[in-house]
C-alpha cells in the first residue's frame, strides 16, 4: 500500500504558485521523498526528491517538514503544461528501487 496521502485534485490559475501537499506520517528515517508527475497520455516523469532538507531544482521546490511527516511540492509559476497528476512517493531501503504509486493529485491549471 502507498504510504502517502494526497488530495485527489487541486486547481490553480496560470502563473500563480501552486503548493501540493503530501502527508506521510509513517515515514521512517531512511525513506526518501520523491515526486513524479504524469502529463496526459505520457509516462510519469521525475520532478524532485529529498530526504530531510528543502530542495530546489529547475522544475520545482520541495519543502519537507521538520518532523518529516509531511512535505509540499511547490511549483513557483504554474503553466498550462503543468496540468498533470502529481505523485508523492516514499522510497525505502526495504523495497529499494521500485516506485509505489498512490492515486496522486490531479492538478488543473486555468488560463
Partner 1 sequence: DSGVTQTPKHLITATGQRVTLRCSPRSGDLSVYWYQQSLDQGLQFLIQYYNGEERAKGNILERFSAQQFPDLHSELNLSSLELGDSALYFCASSVDGGLTDTQYFGPGTRLTVL
* Cβ distance to partner 1 smaller for residue 98 or 111: 98
Options 25, 69, 103, 108; binder of partner 1; rule CB under 8 A: 103
19 beta partners = 74
Options 40, 43, 67, 81; binder of partner 1; rule CB under 8 A: 43
Grid coordinates of 101: 504509486
Q: Segment contacting partner 1 (CB under 8 A): 13-21, 54-62, 74-82, 85-93?
A: 85-93
b vs e for 36-71, b when ≥16 Cβ sit within 10 Å of the residue's Cβ? bbbeeeeebeebbebeeeebeeeebbbbbeeebebb
Instruction: Give the nearest distance from C-beta 92 to partner 1 in angstroms.
Output: 8
Q: How many CB atoms lie within 10 A of CB 29?
A: 9
- Chain residues that interact with partner 1, rule: CB under 8 A: 30, 32, 36, 38, 42-46, 49, 87, 91-93, 95-103
Amino acid at each position: 500500500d502507498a504510504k502517502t496521502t494526497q488530495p485527489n485534485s487541486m486547481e490553480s490559475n496560470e502563473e500563480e504558485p501552486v503548493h501540493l501537499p503530501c502527508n506521510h506520517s509513517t515515514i521512517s528515517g531512511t525513506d526518501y521523498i520523491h515526486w513524479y508527475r504524469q502529463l496526459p497520455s505520457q509516462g510519469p516523469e521525475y520532478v524532485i526528491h529529498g530526504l530531510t532538507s528543502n530542495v530546489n531544482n529547475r522544475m520545482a521546490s520541495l519543502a519537507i517538514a521538520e518532523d518529516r511527516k509531511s512535505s509540499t511540492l511547490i511549483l513557483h509559476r504554474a503553466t498550462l503544461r503543468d496540468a498533470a497528476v502529481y505523485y508523492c512517493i516514499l522510497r525505502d531501503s526495504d523495497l529499494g528501487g521500485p516506485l509505489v504509486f498512490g492515486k496522486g493529485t490531479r492538478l488543473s491549471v486555468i488560463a
